[in-house]
């Protein structure tokens, strides 16, 4: 199906004259910059932070483009991928008219962003095995459904969703399919980035917050055809990624082997943690995971969660999330953190048995 992107964009965004940042308005070479009301005398720090950062993050885009074998104009760099999520709403969704579709249980920010932007949320839950349910999705979407959020590997379940099911939806859906790949680097599955030229309506999200170990910098990515990226650039705040974050990401690219090593270590620890969790009698199910976390069903999530808090270990209690009753989500820690976690969980077993025998 050929999607007409212009039909999906909000009218006010089509009409929008974007903010023109000071440095965009000249061509040629300049030596003295008195155009942006920066502090010409410098900064109290040794670095050159008195200048605004590159609004379009060209150096990062060049690195990311080479890494993914795509063009720089097919990349948006945001203040975390959460910024890209919010921008998708602002570009495509007309409050009180349009709607979006999510497939629970999934990442909570899709709903929060929809609520902030006053956009109706439609739902087509995953199946019991946490797979996509394309028939349910087709039944729920209507002519005002602008965005379909698919998270793969999915948070909080950890599994990757079926590629053919996703591409089948992209073929038939007249809105934008957002494929959130925040955890893709922990998975052996292929990214959908290579599909952005085959499907005009696919937007892929990735982040530097997970495998890259740079959550504190707040840098995320969106990949899509150049027409969609142009819309992101039109709507985003002019200087959305700080100088310090841009420089740090560039530096991280110089140390990719370290990133690859961390990913391998996390995957190996993931196996270890799964093995140990499986031995606990109050863990009734461990869901397959391609991410840096494990979702486990337990007999009493609230009691275990509180027990771990008392042990000064915080995990994510997902028991109140649709289809996740009894579930706790464990981020993979370092070997010693995982050991402490397992030791504490073993204490919970002993404690529970002691209480039972009283």
Ligand X SMILES: Cc1ncc(COP(=O)(O)O)c(C=O)c1O
Positions that interact with ligand X (CB under 6 A):
80-82, 107, 151, 155, 180, 182, 207, 209, 215, 220
CB nearer to ligand X: give 57 or 81. Answer: 81
92: tokens are 């495509």
CB of 258 to ligand X, least distance (A): 19
CB nearer to ligand X: give 107 or 305. Answer: 107
Please give the Cα distance from 124 to 49 (Å, whole number).
47
> Which residue of the chain is nearest ligand X when measured via CB?
80
CB of 352 to ligand X, least distance (A): 31
CB nearer to ligand X: give 122 or 316. Answer: 316
Collect all residues with Cβ–Cβ distance below 8 Å to 311 and sequence separation of at least 6.
344, 347
CB of 110 to ligand X, least distance (A): 9
CB of 344 to ligand X, least distance (A): 24
CB nearer to ligand X: give 9 or 119. Answer: 119
Tell me if 124 sits within 8 A of 136, measured CB to CB.
yes
From 147, 252, 273, select the one nearest 210 (Cα to Cα). 252
CB of 88 to ligand X, least distance (A): 12
CB of 85 to ligand X, least distance (A): 7
CB of 299 to ligand X, least distance (A): 26
7: tokens are 């039909």
CB nearer to ligand X: give 317 or 345. Answer: 317
Sign of the torsion angle spanned by Cα atoms 210, 211, 216, 222: negative
Residue whose structure tokens are 């039909």: 7
Collect all residues with Cβ–Cβ distance below 8 Å to 274 and sequence separation of at least 6.
286, 289, 294
CB nearer to ligand X: give 160 or 209. Answer: 209
CB nearer to ligand X: give 88 or 151. Answer: 151
Please give the Cα distance from 333 to 195 (Å, whole number).
33
């Amino acid at each position: 199906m050929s999607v007409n992107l212009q039909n999906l964009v909000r009218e006010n965004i089509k009409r929008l004259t974007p903010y023109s940042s000071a440095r965009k308005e000249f061509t040629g070479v300049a030596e003295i910059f008195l155009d942006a009301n920066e502090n010409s005398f410098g900064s109290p720090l040794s670095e050159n932070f008195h200048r605004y950062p590159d609004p379009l993050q060209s150096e990062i885009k060049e690195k990311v483009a080479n890494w993914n074998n795509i063009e720089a104009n097919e990349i948006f760099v945001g203040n975390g991928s959460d910024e890209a999520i919010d921008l998708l709403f602002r570009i495509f969704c007309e409050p009180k008219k349009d709607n979006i579709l999510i497939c629970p249980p999934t990442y909570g920010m899709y709903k929060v962003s929809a609520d902030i932007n006053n956009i109706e949320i439609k739902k087509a839950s995953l199946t019991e095995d946490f797979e996509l349910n394309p028939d349910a999705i087709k039944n729920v979407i209507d002519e005002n459904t602008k965005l379909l959020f698919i998270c793969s590997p999915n948070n909080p379940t950890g599994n990757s969703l079926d590629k053919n099911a996703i591409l089948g939806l992209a073929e038939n859906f007249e809105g934008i399919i957002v494929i959130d790949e925040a955890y893709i680097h922990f998975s052996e599955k292929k990214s959908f980035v290579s599909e952005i030229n085959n499907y005009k309506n696919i937007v892929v999200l990735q982040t530097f917050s997970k495998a890259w170990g740079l959550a504190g910098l707040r840098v995320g990515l969106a990949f899509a055809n150049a027409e969609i990226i142009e819309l992101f650039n039109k709507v985003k705040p002019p200087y959305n990624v700080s100088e310090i974050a841009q420089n740090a990401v560039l530096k991280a690219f110089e140390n990719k082997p370290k990133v690859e090593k961390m990913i391998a270590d996390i995957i190996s620890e993931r196996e270890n943690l799964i093995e140990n969790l499986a031995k606990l009698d109050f863990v009734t199910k461990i869901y397959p995971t391609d991410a840096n976390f494990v979702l486990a069903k337990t007999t009493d999530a609230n009691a275990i969660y509180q027990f771990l808090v008392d042990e000064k270990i915080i995990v994510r209690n997902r028991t109140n999330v649709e289809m996740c009753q009894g579930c706790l989500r464990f981020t993979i820690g370092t070997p010693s953190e995982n050991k402490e976690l397992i030791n504490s969980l073993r204490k919970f077993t002993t404690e529970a048995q002691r209480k039972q025998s009283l």
